[in-house]
Every structure is written in C-alpha cells, then in structure tokens.
Structure 1
Amino acid sequence: MRMSWTVFAALLLLTSGCAGLDLQKPGEQASEDTDLAFDYVAVGGTGTIDQTLTITNSSDEAAVPTLSFVALDSSGRPLPRVEVSTVYGSDSGLVVAPADYEVFDILRFEGAGADRVEDVDVTVESVDSFPDAGTVYPTIDYLSSSGRSVPYPSQAATVRVKNPGAHDYAVRLVGIAWNRPAPGHSQQAQSVTPVGSLVKVPAGRSVDVPVPAHLRAGFDSLKCYISTN
C-alpha cells in the first residue's frame, strides 16, 4: 500500500543548520507556503530499495523537515510497539529537499510487529526553509586507492562527490549493510555507518571523501545526500 499526502505550512526561516546555503534572517516569513508530499513504498521493484519514503518539495524554496512516523499494518491500524527510525535522518532534520525536487529517506522498523508494517503515517514536526534556485543533487564515483573507478562501494578507497549545481551545499555519506529477507518480505538496512562527517561541496566542484579501510567490506551500498549541520 502507498500513502501520499501533502502538508502546507507557513514557516519561520532559521539561520542555523544549512551549511553552504544562503539562509534568510531569523523570523522572516517564507515568500510562499512550503509544499511537501510524502509517499511510502514498502517493497520496491527489482534493483530498487525497499522501505523508502519519497519527499517531494513542490515549492520554490528548499525545505528541511523534521518528521515523525507511526507504523501501520495492512488495515491501516497503528502498530504501537514498532519503533520507526530513518537511515538519512529526516526524523532529526538532517535531510534537505531542494526547491522543486524529490528526495528520499529509508525507514527502519524494530520491535514487536515490525514484520507486519505495510505503511506509515507521517507527521511534520517542524520545517526550516530557505531560498534556493539551481541546486542539483550530487553524483558520486567510487575510486580505488590508485584513483581508478570501481563498481562497488566495498572496493572504494575514496568516494568522489560532485556538485553539478549552482550553489554550494553540504553532504553526508552513509554505508549500508542490508538484511537478507525471506521472499516476499521487504529488505531493511541492518546497519548504517557514517562515512566521514559533514562535507561541504562547492558549486561545480568535486570533493574526495576517504573510506576507512576497516569499514569497506561491510557496505552493500554507499549513499550520499544533501544535509545540514
């Protein structure tokens, strides 16, 4: 089952938390309401990630929401003993959704009934927003110790993060090890490991982020996303 709904909020703009982006002064009102929509997909198609929450920002300002979640069963009933957390940190205000852009986070479920989760209710606890035009999501390349491009994160000594857009921003990288679910069940992030810290990537430039040798073998995936302090 998919769930999608839209939240409109007149927001106060904050100066902290959005490295490399031009924020307005505290207390200034956004020029327009921020328009966010959410869509949860429990089981993706072949070659895609399960348990994803897509965050669509249809406004002309970037948004940094802090979200909370309630797990639901197949009938839409809450599962109160299931704890919902995120891989990227949208529940802690760490995911930036650029203006007129679609980003995603990955959800994790723990506790009694976690295997019965089919959907989620999403609550926007707060949102920061700031002017944004020309932001383009980063691309990444995995590089060996000799600087050669390699196909898998487990082979990468370095991750090259490129900002193809017109504005500086900051990114985080996380390495993910996935569980091995039974057929028909969604796959979940079994462990999530930060790779480095918050990294500023200037517009039109690339930054190389080293991957510690003792971590590489434990990653099935390595993901990069625009984030905040």
Structure 2
Amino acid sequence: MNGVAMHIANGIVNAQVSAVFAAIAAAALAICVWRGRADLDDRLAPMAGLVAAFIFAVQMLNFQVLPGVSGHLLGGTLAVVLVGPWVGALCVSTVLIIQCLLFADGGLTALGLNITNMAVIGTAAGYLLVAGLLRLLPKTPRGVAVTAFVASIVSVVVASQAFVIEYALGGTTELSLGTIAASMAGAHVLIGIGEGLIAAVTVATVARVRPDLVYALRRFRTTRPAVATQKTVGAQA
C-alpha cells in the first residue's frame, strides 16, 4: 500500500479509472486557467508564486501514518485564502506536476488522480468552508486564522476520502474499503490539524501585515454599510 496516502503511486488504481480522472483534472485546470485570469493582477501574481513555493516546501515533509503509508500537508486551504480558488488550484497543481516529474513523488499515470484529489477537490472543499465561515466570523486576522484552521482539517480529510472512491472504482489490490476509509480518515485528521495550525499562523501573519494581500478578506468583506450609506444619501437628496 506504499504511496496510497495522498500521493498515489502507479498501479494503485487501474489504467481506465486513472485515464478518466486525468481527463477530469485536465478539464478542471482549463476552467481554473480561464477563471483565474480575471483574478490575476500585479498584487496577486507575485503572491501566487510565493504560495506555490511555500506549498512545495511543506509538501516535502512526509509523515509516517502506517507501515508503508505516509501522508503530507496539502496546502489547498492556505492557497484559497491567500489567492482564491482558481489560482489556488493552479498553484497546488503546479507543485504536484513538479514533484511528479522531478522527484517521482506520485506516479505519472496517477497524476490526474492526485491533481483531482488535492488540487481540485481539496481546494474546492476548503474554499466552500472558507466562504461559509467568513460570513459568520469577523473579517480579522483572528477570524481568518480560525477559518483557515477549520477548513484545512476538513479539506484534507475530504481529499483523502476522494481516493477511497477512486479505489472503489478501480483499485488493483485486495484491501477492504472500510479499512482504507478509516485509515485514511484517521491519519488525515491528524495531518489536517498540523496543516491547519500552519495555515492559521501564516494567514494571520499576512492579514496583520498586509490584509490587502489576503484574497478571502477582499472577497468576503462586508459591503452592507456602504450600501446603507448610499441609500441614506439618496433619501436626503
């Protein structure tokens, strides 16, 4: 079962299912490129490079969770908080492609599976939680830190369970789905807590120094007072 925990190795999932998810990953990335162009500007472009470099560094840290099974940080939630869902998914995908081609971390035939799980599903789950929590929590460094912590844990576990579905569709070894699901969930809750702490500290630091560089704070800032002010001025006129 070596390589199962997040970076999927060649041969863990059969060729047919791997090909399907390669097509899904390619389509998802094409959409991210299309939508991400609208977000990229002089402020976001350099931040995206820094986020990709940071994710690359933290993903090199592997944690032994079971004999022959390791896990690592994903960085998807951190990316969506700082640079948004579309650019964030591209950042994670870039890291996964480099790791696969240069460091043989994850199989080439499984690259579509890894991108789908970590760059697409992981970041999507993280973004949905960030969007929901920041409508309830204050848009402050502390609020965005709590948001990043909670969303990181959930997104990591969701991404790990995506592998369970893929394995159910085309797994090549005789392992119990229940055992795999429980092992992946348990291990990645712990990994998610570690990732959540790193993400929380990172985004809180950036939010204190340069809140304008935090995509989530710009995207979900409160606009109601401004609208109310405009209505008041209109009524007085």
TM (norm. structure 1) is: 0.30
Larger Rg: 1 or 2? Answer: 2
TM (norm. structure 2) is: 0.29
Q: Which has the higher contact order (CA 8 A, sep 6+)?
A: 2
More helix by share: 2
More strand by share: 1
